[in-house]
C-alpha cells in the first residue's frame, strides 16, 4: 500500500490541515526509476492530458466534464491509444453530473497535474472536479488520482481526494492544483487549492498538501 496525507509545509503561504489515507499500488512490477514529466506509460515520451470540464457525458448535459489523454511517440503525439476519462469511466470513483442532472455540475477536468506520486517510474495524473457535491455539500469539490503503468493511465487504485469532511466551509476544492516534491523524499506531492473556501478570519481560499509515498510490502 501507499500512503498520502495532509502535512504542513512551512514554505507555502497556505493554511494546511492534516489527515491520512491509503493509496493502493497501481503497478507493483514497475522499475523504480524517476518518471519523466507527464510520461504515463514510461516509454520515454511525454504524454498530454486535455481537460474538457464543460463536456457532456452521456445524458448528463454539459458541465459533467471529461479528460482526453494523447500519448507521445517518436513522431510526436498520436491518437493511437487515446484515452477518454470521466467519472462514468469504469473504476473511477464518483458519478458524472451535468446540467441535466440534479447535482449540476461536476466540471471534471477543470485542472489536471501530473507527477510520480508513488515513485514507480510512471507519471500519475490528478484530475479535479471543483463543483462536485460531496458529503451532502454542493460544490465542495473532489480530486481523482489515476496511476500510470506500462499500459498508460489506469483506473486501478483510483484515489478520491476531498477536503476535510468535518469542514463545512469548503467550496471549490480543486480549482487549483500543483505537483512537486515538497519534502525532498523523492516522491512527488500534491497541493490542492479551494478558492471558494469561506474564511471568516482573513481572505477567502485555502490549500491542502498531500504527500506521496512508496509501496509498503
Are the C-beta atoms of residues 151 and 91 closer than 8 Å to each other? Answer: no
Instruction: Select the more confidently predicted residue: 187 or 96.
Output: 187
27: burial class by Cβ within 10 Å (0-12, 13-18, 19+)? buried
pLDDT at residue 91 is higher than 80: yes
Please name the helix (run of DSSP H) or strand (run of DSSP E) that holds residue 143, with its range, or none.
Answer: strand 142-147
Q: Which tens digit of pLDDT belongs to each residue from 60-78?
A: 778 888 999 999 999 999 9
Task: List residues bridging with 124 in a β-sheet.
Answer: 115
d(C-alpha 171, C-alpha 162), whole Å: 11
Pull the grid cell for residue 162.
Answer: 476531498
> What average pLDDT score do residues 180-193 get?
91
d(C-alpha 150, C-alpha 67), whole Å: 20
d(C-alpha 49, C-alpha 146), whole Å: 12
171 — pLDDT class (breaks 50, 70, 90): confident
Quote the pLDDT of residue 200.
60
18 — pLDDT class (breaks 50, 70, 90): very low
Percent of the chain with pLDDT over 70: 71
Question: By three-state DSSP, how is residue 102 classified?
Answer: coil
Are the C-beta atoms of residues 112 and 124 closer than 8 Å to each other? Answer: no
Quote the pLDDT of residue 124.
96
Weakest-pLDDT range from 18-22, 53-57, 78-82: 18-22
214 — pLDDT class (breaks 50, 70, 90): confident
37 — pLDDT class (breaks 50, 70, 90): confident
pLDDT at residue 216 is higher than 70: no
Q: Which tens digit of pLDDT belongs to each residue from 111-148?
A: 999 999 999 999 999 999 988 876 666 677 889 999 99
Weakest-pLDDT range from 4-18, 85-99, 150-164: 4-18
Weakest-pLDDT range from 124-128, 166-170, 204-208: 166-170
Pull the grid cell for residue 89.
Answer: 469511466
56 — pLDDT class (breaks 50, 70, 90): confident
Give whole-number Cα distances, 208 to 14, 74, 96, in Å: 8, 38, 24
DSSP state of 61: -
Q: Can you give the length of the chain in residues? A: 217
> What average pLDDT score do residues 46-71 get?
89
Amino acid at each position: 500500500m501507499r500512503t498520502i496525507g495532509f502535512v504542513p509545509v512551512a514554505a507555502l503561504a497556505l493554511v494546511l490541515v492534516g489527515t491520512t489515507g491509503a493509496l493502493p499500488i497501481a503497478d507493483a512490477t514497475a522499475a523504480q526509476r524517476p518518471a519523466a514529466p507527464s510520461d504515463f506509460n514510461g516509454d520515454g515520451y511525454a504524454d498530454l492530458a486535455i481537460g474538457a470540464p464543460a463536456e457532456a457525458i452521456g445524458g448528463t448535459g454539459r458541465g459533467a466534464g471529461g479528460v482526453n489523454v494523447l500519448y507521445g511517440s517518436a513522431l510526436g503525439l498520436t491518437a493511437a491509444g487515446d484515452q477518454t476519462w470521466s467519472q462514468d469511466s469504469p473504476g473511477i470513483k464518483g458519478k458524472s453530473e451535468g446540467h441535466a442532472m440534479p447535482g449540476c455540475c461536476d466540471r471534471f477536468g477543470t485542472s489536471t497535474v501530473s507527477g510520480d506520486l508513488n515513485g514507480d517510474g510512471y507519471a500519475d495524473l490528478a484530475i479535479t472536479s471543483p463543483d462536485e457535491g460531496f458529503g451532502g455539500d454542493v460544490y465542495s469539490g473532489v480530486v481523482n488520482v489515476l496511476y500510470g503503468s506500462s499500459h498508460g493511465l489506469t483506473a486501478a487504485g483510483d484515489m478520491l481526494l476531498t477536503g476535510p469532511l468535518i469542514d463545512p466551509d469548503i467550496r471549490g476544492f480543486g480549482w487549483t492544483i500543483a505537483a512537486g516534491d515538497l519534502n525532498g523524499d523523492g516522491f512527488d506531492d500534491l497541493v490542492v487549492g479551494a478558492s471558494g473556501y469561506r474564511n471568516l478570519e482573513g481572505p477567502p481560499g485555502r490549500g491542502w498538501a498531500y504527500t506521496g509515498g512508496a509501496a509498503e510490502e
